Amino acid sequence: MNKRLNVTQHNTRPDKKAIVLLSGGLDSATVLAKALAEGYECYALAFDYGQRHRAELVAAERIAQSMGAKAFKVIKLDLSSIGGSALTDMAIDVPDAGGSGIPVTYVPARNTVFLSIALGWAEVVDARSIHIGVNAVDYSGYPDCRPDFVAAFERLANVATKAGIEGHTLHIATPLIDLSKAEIIQLGTSLGVDYALTVSCYKADNDGLACGRCDSCHLRKEGFAQANVADPTAYKETS
C-alpha cells in the first residue's frame, strides 16, 4: 500500500486529511472508524519499534485495508536499544494485571515519538490533523496519555511545522480521551468495527492469540463485559 503515497493528493482538502495512529489494538481501530465516518481521508501509521507483540503490526495492516484507509505505513524505529520498558526490553517481564503507579509496560516517551513522526508525515501529505486513541483508562498510568500532554503536543505541532508557520492549524484529535473501555467498544460497534481483527494482548503470539492475563487483556475483557458486547478475542488455550 505504501506506493500510493508517492502520488501527491490534490483532490482532498488538507483539513479533511488525517494521520491516524494505528497500533492494531481495539482503541486505535475505533479511532480509525470514527475518522472515516467523519469523512476524513485517512493515512494510517503503525510503528515497528521492537515491541514484543508483533502480531499487532499484522493486525494493523489488516484493519487499515479492510476499513479503507487511503494509505498504511509502518515506520521502523528501534526503541528497544533505549530500553526501560517491559514491552521492548526482553529482560523485564510483563506482569499480570494489578499494581499501581506507572506500569513497567510504559515505553519512555512513546506517544511523544509516535506523534512526532506522525507530524512529519502530516507535513508531507499536507494533513491538518493527527488522530490518536489515548483514553481515560490509560490516563491512570501513562504520563503521555493525559489531556495536558495532548494539549502540549498540539501547541508544539503548531510551531514545529511549515504549515504552522504559514498560519494553518494542526489539530491533535483524541476522540477516546473521556471514554471508558466499554464506551469505546460501544462506539466502535455502532460504527461497524470488527474487533476480531484487533490484537490488544502484550504477549500475543504470532497468530495473534491473546494471553488473557496481562493488563491489556484484563482491560479488554472487562470492557466487552461492561459493554454487553460478545468478546470476539481469540485466547491461547492455556489461559
- Rule CB under 8 A: which residues touch a second copy? 2, 5-6, 73, 75-79, 81-84, 102, 106-113, 115-117, 119-121, 123-124, 143-144, 146, 148-149, 152-153, 155-156, 159-162, 164-165
Nearest to 73 by CA among 48, 110, 107, 37: 48
Q: Is 31 annotated as a binding residue?
A: yes
End-to-end CA, the chain: 36
Name the phi and psi angles at 183, rounded to 5: -65, -35
Nearer to a second copy, 146 or 236 (CB): 146
Q: Is 217 annotated as a binding residue?
A: yes
* CB 104, min distance to a second copy, A: 12
* CB 12, min distance to a second copy, A: 17
Q: Is 42 annotated as a binding residue?
A: no
Q: Is 239 annotated as a binding residue?
A: no
Burial of 69 (0-12, 13-18, 19+ CB in 10 A): buried
Residue 12 Cα distances to 24, 41, 227, angstroms? 26, 7, 36
Which segments are annotated as binding site?
A: 22-32, 201, 211, 214, 217
Residue ranges for the known binding site for Zn(2+) are 201, 211, 214, 217
Which residues define the annotated binding site for ATP?
Answer: 22-32
